[in-house]
A and B are shown apart, each in its own frame.
Chain A
């Protein structure tokens, strides 16, 4: 068919014609091939302009139309519609050339503008014949609406959508809806109370059956297109059930953890379980949790360290002990002898020193009479378990098995229970009464004990089976001392192994080993043996160790105490032989060593120094160079597999030995290790035994329930946390200390313990002390809750994500963060609010930071971070008005004698009733200083200024510098975009403006639409605005969403990509490039396929497709090349 092109060039008043000689363009194009009609018009978009096109199509038989006017963003739709009315396919027939934005507005010279316009028009004439018919697709619209943000904009939009009969889902990041407006006290210019007008909205949103409220939730992903969005929302675990929580607040009463309350801008504290403010919707509390605290993660037994430390801080020792005993039945013991790996991880060390956790545990244990604790309810079971060995592993296994209801019998070879706790640790470190108390408690639960009954001697494993035990736990420890392997060791009298020596002394059977003793070794056993020898009457005790003090494995405090008691330590000294006479020890030959290369253990190997031998004269030698389990009782028929270190071979998770139903843990498995590791392993074995006895399949048995992933995210250490000394134990005076077995460490006094506990930084925020669980009468608290994912299908989305306030700290000259009485606007809002830190009284702080007195004068500094190219160039729009509101509130509440100064650049009081409000406030005597404040200082120049803040500015009207002494400075900090505005914009397909706020589609005519069809914006996320404007915009956005929902269908552009399956090689390059996830791969056919509903026609795929299979409708290669040729012609 012959091309019959109609060409129309628009004057746009003088917008185009002022620079482009329109007639010349018309006449030039009239001469182009195929052009049947060429006309110009003052306004092509006017009705007569459109009619001209329609008439020409009908009367002149036009089949193509080119209009040269403004940007297609303005009127492409207008002209397409005109073509369609005249019977043409608009995509085939119509093309628009932009000669306003691209020519007249951006070109100075008339000739150049005209030439450029002609070139562009010619390009259009060349391309239009190659267009082909396309049909806009109509897709159905899901009537549901998503509103992101529950501030005043989001609430209003949701209410409007709901009242139109459609369903709205509000997703709010905070635990409550309300937003910034509900933090305020009064609103300008009418001074109505923000919560009086805001809470009714909150309640309506909460109660409206058409509104679904997802608080403490965030949108994670958005998929789909206008009318058909799929949105993934993460409902963060709030650990409090919204259905049952009544909001009574008992939980917060008992919660030991305090945090700065965000709602009060940190001016007030809240608990880890909290509600932002009393009228919150939902009224439900929420619990803030971070990753489990490093101390908890470090504890081999997994004790909730942060939890019990917090309870101790509150003086709730019984609760603390019960919490400890969930994981460790020997709090008093471990409070004395634990190597406390938790303290090494404590983040308090970043401020000063770790919290003294171990001592706190003891402090709690010493203050609780275990017998007075309520007996746990035990559900009895029939199965019997034999626990062999009553050391820490055995006691722990027995305790936890007993709690599960098993009938437990403890077998102990020694006359007293406690294993190494009894036989290995001297009384001055662990008084026997402490151990007895805790063992008695375990026995009191119904654990039977048989002492002086040694496995292998008095009974065998098979005996136990015969006696009807269903399972056996072996916690037999490592009680055999290792040999020095030097001459004289075995034959001389006066050589006694440290383990044997300590056991005999601890059981009351031993005596002094001699007058002058040498202990060999550097571990705790060596130090214990040395100090015990001293207490048994030795006159002189030395320790000989091969390496230096740095490598000594004994605890630092033990070494310190030993040295203080007069024990001499020979470092870098190795044993050579023991000298004797008449079968008795007379001396000990040693050799000096030096440290060489590191050995397998990573410690530097001691190398003897030739010719450095020397002799220590002595009559007792106590080797303390290691222990191993005594497995002499294991007979071949037991078939119990052992390692080459004589320890039991066990499954690493279940701790079951090679024998069915026989489990083992503690030193007997690991070789000599710490008490806390043995306790932890005993508890683990109890769990495994339980699973075994209940017939569970141990092969798939999981050691511990799945724990949340470790994020390493902990509570931030509050700025300005002052260093405080760590509580240290009082010790028995050194004089005379070594003469008795009295406990050396006296423990912490109560006040010290509580103060020490408060040094804890609450890394995990919630300490999981479970106090709230007990306090909650309706059982609403669930610490095991997990985040939930909610998928929503909606047709449109309203973004109402609000704003942040700029942090004025970097603008040091205003003194924020330096002077306690410089406040941001939002802080002042909280100060005036009845639910705020001062219950609504306007007060200033004293030197300690306490709000204690009303200000006599106040300065309000405008434009802090706004109207300033160094921060935000834009005007924050609301500050002038709220500054006047503050001025009024100060006059009203503090008294009219209070001087109030506003330092302003320009007063912008443009809204309804605003100028009138300014007039009223000025009438109240509020001073307006025209000049931006330059400096806030506390450097007084005269007595009047002493102790006050001085604001310095030039009053530009007077032409004089002003110094104004005040008691309080309020900074009108700029509204700025949310910190994650860019991420949110990307997620929803929006752009950001230069100011960083969400960009609307057109600043005047499309104020709530965005670049993404079906996504609308409302409120301060689009730019700084006050409440009236926010509400108006929210209603506008709701209107747009409702239109879509009500109409039920929407046209989507046919200008999308398609992939020619015959050409596609299936390389999938396009899939990776597509920003809209619009391309799927058809594995069966081996080709990529475009989902036209999702495709935005951006052309990335077409540009990159190596085989030329991907094309964009309306922008085919032929069309684009024709346009370029027209341009160059």
Chain B
């Protein structure tokens, strides 16, 4: 007889790795219905969970690695299940057996060996800030400016990071940097199932924070933000974490930062999943943009909670995806539909994905992808 037999030991193993919610899934398929993958091809988180409920073969297929952890399924799940954690547990199992897609082996290995997923030399971690003379973090400095690996090593994002530093300075924010000993926050690594590597990164960073007396962290990336507020908190981390858009919003509100040069541009803002759906930060970035004179902020139809993921999270950045299946391409089309000249983002992943999508579509003349910090800098008199 051609039949499958439940293999509940596998189910139990997934549950132990943090996927215990899978038992409560009622298979309503809301997750599938709201998953952005189904805009481009069939992908069923429900189906994967179903297989996992019975420990059946198939959950470990390549589909498992599609999830970009955009959180849309989680916020809509009628049972309130932490679906990302269920899939992450399965990925952890795959990591343990070494069955990780080749494309992800690079970033995972690099994170393990070099403390960043970009195969960058740890020595060069602070090279991007050369000439900016950012003071070291020490007692008396308000915030640790935590460098996202992507801003440290990706040329496009280095520009954004440098702009951010200048804007923060103009706002009179007190911040300092750690040494080259700082390593990747580990968000993507953990979402790829690299729990062991994540553990190493976490241990290194928490130790360093402890040593330097870090209480308050300012992050450029929503992924770092999420890692410190949630993943690190799981292991006893207790930091006051602020995304830079929150800090700028506050500085503008208090009159410490006043964008004044007319920009004369139509801008649309893309809510990064890890800022929006994961952490409900929707308005501060918009308020910052609206504070820029002559900036006309227009919304894409999918905005805030309904924002369409760029496809970069959960390891998606390193996944090989055919051009017609890239969410970033869909998203850039949506941005173009608004008539905006600038697509503003507040996440290094989003910037990479959108820059790439704009090139794919050949729309470099029509749409610029810009970090919010860069827009603010353009509007400052003397920064």
Contacts and interface: CB of A to CB of B under 8 A. Distances in A.
B26 A931 contact: no
Contacts of B29: 931-932, 934, 953-956
A960 B33 CA distance: 10
Centre residue among B29, B47, B77, B79 by max chain A CB count within 10 A? B29
Interface string A927-962: 000011111000000000000000011111001110
B86 to A, nearest CB: 16
A868 interface: yes
Interface residues of B, number: 21
B42 A961 contact: yes
A932 B306 CA distance: 18
Given A931-B33, A934-B34, A870 B76 contact: yes
A813 B34 contact: yes
B25 to A, nearest CB: 11
A7 to B, nearest CB: 44
Contact of B33 (A812, A863, A868, A952): A952
A908 to B, nearest CB: 12
Interface string B304-325: 0010000000000000000000
A959 B44 CA distance: 8
DSSP majority for the A interface?
loop
A812 B28 contact: no
Nearest to A959: B47
A907 interface: no
A868 B78 contact: yes
B78 A869 contact: yes
B3 to A, nearest CB: 17
Which bucket holds chain A's interface residue count? Answer: 20 to 34
Nearest to A929: B29
Contacts of B50: 956
B171 to A, nearest CB: 35
B46 A954 contact: yes
A479 B30 CA distance: 80
Contacts of A905: 26-28
Interface string B23-67: 000111110111000100010101100100000000000000000
Given A863-B78, A869-B78, A869-B79, A960 B42 contact: yes
A934 B26 CA distance: 15
Nearest to B43: A961
B33 A954 contact: yes
Contacts of B339: none
Contacts of B79: 869
A953 B42 CA distance: 11
A870 B47 contact: no
B207 interface: no
Given A812-B306, A905-B28, A956-B27, A934 B80 contact: no
A960 B44 CA distance: 8
A932 B33 contact: yes
A180 interface: no
A868 B78 CA distance: 4
A870 B33 contact: no
A39 interface: no
A404 interface: no
Interface string B147-187: 00000000000000000000000000000000000000000
Nearest to A933: B33
A863 B33 CA distance: 15
Centre residue among B27, B42, B306 by max chain A CB count within 10 A? B27
Contacts of B30: 932, 934
Given A959-B44, A960-B42, A961-B42, A954 B76 contact: no
A931 B76 contact: no
Nearest to A935: B33
A934 B46 CA distance: 13
A867 interface: yes
Nearest to B37: A961
Contact of B46 (A868, A870, A956): A956
A933 B46 CA distance: 14
A929 to B, nearest CB: 10
Given A953-B29, A956-B29, A932 B78 contact: yes
Interface in A806-826: 812-813
Given A870-B76, A932-B28, A934-B34, A954 B306 contact: no
A935 B301 CA distance: 14
B75 to A, nearest CB: 8
Nearest to A868: B78
14 contacts: A863-B78, A869-B77, A869-B79, A869-B80, A870-B76, A905-B27, A932-B33, A933-B33, A952-B38, A953-B33, A954-B38, A955-B29, A959-B47, A961-B32
Interface of B: 26-30, 32-34, 38, 42, 44, 46-47, 50, 75-80, 306
Pairs A-B, 3 closest by C-beta atoms: A934-B33, A868-B78, A954-B32
Given A931-B32, A932-B29, 6 more contacts: A813-B34, A813-B306, A863-B28, A869-B78, A932-B30, A935-B34
